[in-house]
Amino acid sequence: MPKFSVSGLRGPIGDELTPDDFLRVANAYARFLGAGKMLISRDARISGVMLEAQVTSGVLAAGCEVIKGGMITTPTSVFATKVLNLNGGITITASHNPQDENGMKFLETGRFLVPQRMAEFSSFASGFEFRKIPVSGLKEPKEVNALELHKKKLLELFGSESFEPRLRVGLDPVNGAAGPEAKEILEALNCEVHVVNFESTGRFGRGGEPLKENLEALSALVKEKRLDAGFAFDPDGDRLAFVDEQGRVPGEEYTVPLCSSWALDKSVSDLVVNLSTSRLIEHVAKEYKTNIFRTPVGEAHVVDKLLETGGVAGGEGNGGFIYPSFNATRDGLLAMTVLASLRRRSGSLASLVDSLPVYFMEKDKLHKEFSPRIRERVLQLFPSAQKDTRDGLWLGDEDFWLHLRPSNTEPVTRIIVEANTKERSEKILNEVKKICAA
């Protein structure tokens, strides 16, 4: 069996992972969940159609009923398992990874597997042999329009709002799964939509992540057409970044704070984000006089804490907004709709961005494992800082924080630093890299 991570399974197709791997893992997961109905869906990657057939075969052979979602976003898949009350599902995606990779994310009803359940499945699958039922017991797959289900409920969430004045917006779904649904939602919200990297070919027209450096074409489109906003997704649609009406790309760290303010306007309750999320969210929490909980990195940890505390919203600083009363996962389509609503109500995304404090974040990675030696050397560098060791090492003081942690998807140590000035953040990053490399 392939090696699983807390986020599922992903890797290069034909090298690390083969179609047969998808067949066997799907069969194992269907047996792990037990009899019932399972959603099978995929993003727009080139290998998706081939792998969808293998996953479907594996699930059918285990005796489960397949509900075919087709090419849809990851949040749409999660939403469909909830509203259809399915036993679970498998969505075929490698998230923001390069287009020659693919993978599997494993769903139970209305959410991804929590880390403990993922560990249980990994153990189950390691000793698993392919099981198949007699042909007479095979169930006929059924199709569902999951896109329409998600879109309808999302629009109902904003049903009491005025859709005037009309907005003119740009859309960059990176030739991934989000394009069709995002465009339909925006048009239903009385938006005039201009697109770049739109067709769902799975051949990404830019880098997969919605980072500043990847959104030059969207920024140029907003400036050229004098649009009111621009929205950019990752390939499976669970992360969102935006461009304001001036063509500025604030960065994906602004998505969760602005969307959380919308959620707090509806109901003031706790916020939950991970340890690597910008302190921008603390400004929002202070404004609404509410609490923030921080968790280890990983969507499942954030969702767990939101459900435990009854928190209203949260997410991860990579553009992943979570509003659990609607969808217990990062939902880029919801985030887009929230930001369109905020733009219409405020008259300016730029003014909303400028209302937040300015922090400077630096990200890098070391091509070595996070070790006790690295941990101790960094601790010595900042002896008076607050620390959190739940997920690598987090250190913080009044004017900065830093987070070193082993990647869940690569054999590297990730480093994130945020400070009140660019000089301070760059200095801390360089100091940490220097002592880690020694």
pLDDT digits (tens, 9 = 90+) for 179-215: 999 999 999 999 999 999 999 999 999 999 999 999 9
Going 34 to 35 to 41 to 46, the CA torsion angle's sign is positive
What's the pLDDT at 148?
A: 97
What's the pLDDT at 1?
A: 64
Q: Which residues of the chain are in CATH 3.40.120.10 domains?
A: 9-144, 150-236, 253-354
321: phi then psi, degrees, rounded to nearest 5 = -90, 135
Going 69 to 70 to 72 to 78, the CA torsion angle's sign is positive
pLDDT tens-digit map of 284-310: 999 999 999 999 999 999 999 999 999
Q: Which of 302, 314, 291, 281 is nearest to 401 (CA)?
A: 281
What's the pLDDT at 369?
A: 84
What's the pLDDT at 47?
A: 97
The CA-CA-CA angle for residues 388, 392, 398, to 5°, reads 40
How does DSSP classify residue 254?
G
353: phi then psi, degrees, rounded to nearest 5 = -60, -45
What's the pLDDT at 132?
A: 84
165 preceded by a cis bond (ω within 30 of 0): yes
* Catalytic center residues: 95
Specify the residue for token string 């995002």. 182
Six-digit token pair at 260? 């959380």
- Tens-level pLDDT at each residue, the chain (438 residues): 677 887 789 999 997 899 999 999 999 999 999 989 999 999 999 999 999 999 999 999 999 999 999 999 999 999 999 999 999 999 999 999 999 999 999 999 999 998 899 999 999 998 888 888 888 889 999 999 999 999 999 999 998 777 788 999 999 999 999 999 999 999 999 999 999 999 999 999 999 999 999 999 999 999 999 999 999 999 999 999 999 999 999 999 999 999 999 999 999 999 999 999 999 999 999 999 999 999 999 999 999 999 999 999 999 999 999 999 999 999 999 999 999 999 999 999 999 999 999 999 999 988 888 888 889 999 999 999 999 999 999 999 999 999 999 887 677 899 999 999 999 999 999 999 998 887
What's the pLDDT at 409?
A: 67
Q: How far apart are CA 214 and CA 152, in angstroms?
A: 31
Specify the residue for token string 């082993």. 406
Residue 153 CB: number of other CB atoms within 10 A? Answer: 15
H or E element: which one contains 366?
strand 360-366
Q: How many Cα atoms are found within 13 Å in the side-chain-facing hemisphere of 36?
A: 17
Q: Which long-range contacts (CB under 8 A, 24 or more apart) does 153-157 make?
A: 153/79, 153/83, 153/326, 154/185, 154/326, 154/333, 154/334, 154/337, 155/185, 155/188, 155/189, 155/337, 157/326, 157/334, 157/337
The CA-CA-CA angle for residues 34, 5, 367, to 5°, reads 175
Q: How far apart are CA 228 and CA 332, in angstroms?
A: 19
Q: Which CATH superfamily is domain 150-236 in?
A: Alpha-D-Glucose-1,6-Bisphosphate, subunit A, domain 3 (3.40.120.10)
Q: How far apart are CA 175 and CA 155, in angstroms?
A: 24
**435 to 11, 116, 276, 309, 405: CA distances (angstroms):** 31, 34, 21, 39, 15
CATH topology of domain 253-354: Alpha-D-Glucose-1,6-Bisphosphate; Chain A, domain 3 (3.40.120)
Query: Dihedral angle at the C-alpha atoms of 108, 109, 112, 113, nearest 10 degrees?
Result: -40
As a CATH number, domain 360-437 is 3.30.310.50
Q: How far apart are CA 300 and CA 71, in angstroms?
A: 23
Q: How far apart are CA 238 and CA 111, in angstroms?
A: 13
Q: How far apart are CA 44 and CA 175, in angstroms?
A: 8
Residue 166 CB: number of other CB atoms within 10 A? Answer: 12
Angle between helices 146-157 and 332-346 (to 10 degrees): 30
Query: Dihedral angle at the C-alpha atoms of 331, 230, 341, 96, nearest 10 degrees?
Result: 10
Helix, strand, coil percent values for the chain (each to nearest 5): 40, 25, 35
CATH topology of domain 9-144: Alpha-D-Glucose-1,6-Bisphosphate; Chain A, domain 3 (3.40.120)
Residue 188 CB: number of other CB atoms within 10 A? Answer: 15
Burial annotation 97-130 (CB, 10 A radius, 16+ → b, else e): bebebbbbbbbbbbbbbbeeebeebbeebeebee
Angle between helices 74-83 and 332-346 (to 10 degrees): 100
Q: Could you tell me which residues are beta bridge partners of residue 361?
A: 418
